[in-house]
Structure 1
Amino acid sequence: MSFDLVGLPALSRFVIDRCEPLRGDSERIAALWPKARMVVVDTRGRTLVAERGTRVVDRPAVEFGEEPPPGSVLLGEQDGVAYFAVLTPAEEGEQVPASRAWGPPELTDEPQWLDLRQAGATLDDMSAGLFTTAAALFQWHRLAKFCAKCGSPTVLEKSGWISVCSGCGREEYPRTDAAVICLVHDGADQVLVARGPEWPEGRFSVLAGFVESGESLEACVAREIFEEVGVAVRDIRYLGSQPWPFPRSLMIGFEAVADPSEPLVLAEGEIAEARWVSRADVRQAIEVPGSVPGLGLAGGSSIAFRMLQSWAAAGHSG
């Protein structure tokens, strides 16, 4: 049984005009600046969210100066309002509970600092798009401080969307690393899930891996599944995609079919545990997290969650 995604993955939502021509138009930016809004992201990749995690808190851009501050980025424009983002240092000495790295956040009525993994699934469409784009750009800025050709420092131009080498003049644009992510099922009511060695016990997701040079997406799916769990797949089919700026991936989702009677051979150092689970258990684990012993699933911000949710819903009979 094949299936389609029941909706866009959480971080694939972007509802305003990215407005590429505006990025280098200083006169128009100056005209838009008085009404512009600013999203603040800290160096831990978090932003301030309100209304129980549903909305990014933006501020009047003029609070940050008479023009866009150095290092700020233009995210887009809607209804005559330009949206920018700026990076700010996280509070020194602040500790983030380790449990929040894997579980959903404890949402409150008060504004709170959350990262994309924590807030991506609860944010409204506009907030999710703004935050995802800002996080991706700032990650690229962090990794693109020096020229890959001559090693000289780079300078950001066009509202943070181009880095230009101060030595040789080489231009570079935001980088995206292609990765496949595949939900492997048996064509009926079982799905293959796995756990990485750094993940908590009982935390499972679908399989994924980076595309190699000269490799097609479908070939990557077949290779990665076989390398990671020793299973051959067939009927590979595209489902959808989602940016995943940790640090700069584009997750390209597929489904594929495999034989659950094949022995699982786990890649040492990459896969700590893998097993086939039933559709009923996946559905129950999604509807009531923690209700299926030993089966915690990918967080709602990930495309993996949307894939599992969609597969589980496809076989729902009642």
Structure 2
Amino acid sequence: MAYSIAPGSLALSRSVLDRAADRRRDDDWLEKAWSADDTQVVVVAGDKLQVVDDRSALRFVTPADAPDGLRIFLGIDRDSGAGQTAEGRAVFGVVVKGDGDESYGGLRELGAVLDDREAGIAVNVIGLSNWHAVHTHCANCGEHTEVVEAGHVRHCPNCGLNHFPRSDPAIIVLVTDDQDRALLGRNEAWPAGRYSTLAGFVEPGESLENAVRREVLEETGVVVGPDIEYAGSQPWPLPSSLMLGFYARASAFDIEVDADEIAEAKWFTREDLRALVEAGTMALPGAISISRRLIEGWYGDSLTGSW
């Protein structure tokens, strides 16, 4: 296989900010950074971020203008010039209650328009916001946990256990056959004409390659052989996934869908795909998804038409 995802094309894999993990336990430094005139704060409600009026960028406020909420240290702009932190400009997130109003936007809307710096900030703070929302109590003893290390750890005062943000690994794969056709499937919940690559979560004790083989077999009945190539990864913090992209070659090609998650699956030539997309009878995953980039990597060019 000679397919690849174009470098820099994964919208949510971009990052510029130095996360400066060594500063998360330095309370004196954090308070100084919070009071600095050049510090920036992004406001988050659930999995949405406050944006500027034309919805082309994140809206940053000063600490003095930030609302009350859960304060999370996100990192330092090392290239912004030495600010009052003497290391660069500090960036924080503040998580507020509720789902946000029309001044907020989600990753599906913003991912393709944010620059590298803001895309990295967005996926980081949304992932942390979603994690805090569902990890308020200790999984070991049930006690309410305390937020420590600038929002990156929750500590149980009863049993002493520390809880850390999690990312759930999920494989996503474009499978080809001996005719170089691509296997795409339609989820049971999707309308006719909407197709994507196959995906699923990695199970405990399972390698990524075995997860690829298992998910493809379970969902479509297609057998994946030894030829599996890693293509790239992208965080998908909705709520906590890390999508690990692959290309794989099938060794047995008959399709028998599971009729549970997958309603139908088909082999597509490049000509099939182009004709259906141009006719408007087939919709591909959105531009910010790794699935779209896997398809375009196989196709050899960009494609129009998305969900």
Q: CA deviation at 1:301?
A: 1.8
Determine if contact 1:181/1:253 at 8 Å carries over to the other structure: yes
Which of 303, 307, 314 in structure 1 is aligned with 2:290?
Answer: 303
Q: How many aligned positions are there?
A: 290
Query: What residue number does 2:110 align with?
Result: 119
Unmatched runs of 5 consecutive residues or more in structure 2: 81-87
Determine if contact 1:184/1:255 at 8 Å carries over to the other structure: yes
Query: What residue number does 1:198 align with?
Result: 189
Which secondary structure state, in structure 1, belongs to the residue aligned with residue 219 of structure 2?
Answer: helix
Which secondary structure state, in structure 2, belongs to the residue aligned with residue 137 of structure 1?
Answer: helix
Which secondary structure state, in structure 2, belongs to the residue aligned with residue 159 of structure 1?
Answer: helix
In 2, Cα distance between equivalents of 1:299 and 1:47: 19
In 1, Cα distance between equivalents of 2:160 and 2:45: 30
Query: What residue number does 2:30 align with?
Result: 29
Alignment of 1:48-63 (within 5 A): 48-50=50-52, 53-63=55-65
In 1, Cα distance between equivalents of 2:238 and 2:194: 19
In 2, Cα distance between equivalents of 1:91 and 1:144: 18
In 2, Cα distance between equivalents of 1:284 and 1:144: 47
Which secondary structure state, in structure 1, belongs to the residue aligned with residue 94 of structure 2?
Answer: strand
Determine if contact 2:69/2:97 at 8 Å carries over to the other structure: no
Query: What residue number does 2:71 align with?
Result: 72
Q: CA deviation at 1:264?
A: 1.0
Determine if contact 1:3/1:314 at 8 Å carries over to the other structure: no
Which secondary structure state, in structure 2, belongs to the residue aligned with residue 291 of structure 1?
Answer: helix
Q: CA deviation at 1:135?
A: 0.6
**Amino acid of the structure 2 residue aligned with 1:150:** C
Unmatched runs of 5 consecutive residues or more in structure 1: 95-110
Which of 220, 232, 236 in structure 2 is aligned with 1:229?
Answer: 220
Query: What residue number does 2:84 align with?
Result: none
In 2, Cα distance between equivalents of 1:175 and 1:75: 16
Determine if contact 1:73/1:86 at 8 Å carries over to the other structure: yes
In 1, Cα distance between equivalents of 2:4 and 2:236: 20
Q: CA deviation at 1:25?
A: 1.2
Q: CA deviation at 1:183?
A: 0.8
**Amino acid of the structure 2 residue aligned with 1:76:** G
In 2, Cα distance between equivalents of 1:151 and 1:200: 41
**Amino acid of the structure 2 residue aligned with 1:203:** R
What TM-score, normalized by structure 1, do the two folds share?
0.84
- Shift of the 147–311 alpha-carbon distance from structure 1 to 2, 3 Å rule, reads same
In 2, Cα distance between equivalents of 1:170 and 1:17: 28
Query: What residue number does 1:177 align with?
Result: 168
Show CA shifts across 1:255-314 (max 9, x none): 00126x8321111221012112222454577xxxx6333311111121111211222226
Determine if contact 2:193/2:281 at 8 Å carries over to the other structure: yes
Query: What residue number does 1:107 align with?
Result: none
In 2, Cα distance between equivalents of 1:202 and 1:88: 38
Query: What residue number does 1:5 align with?
Result: 5
CA-based RMSD of the aligned residues comes to 2.4
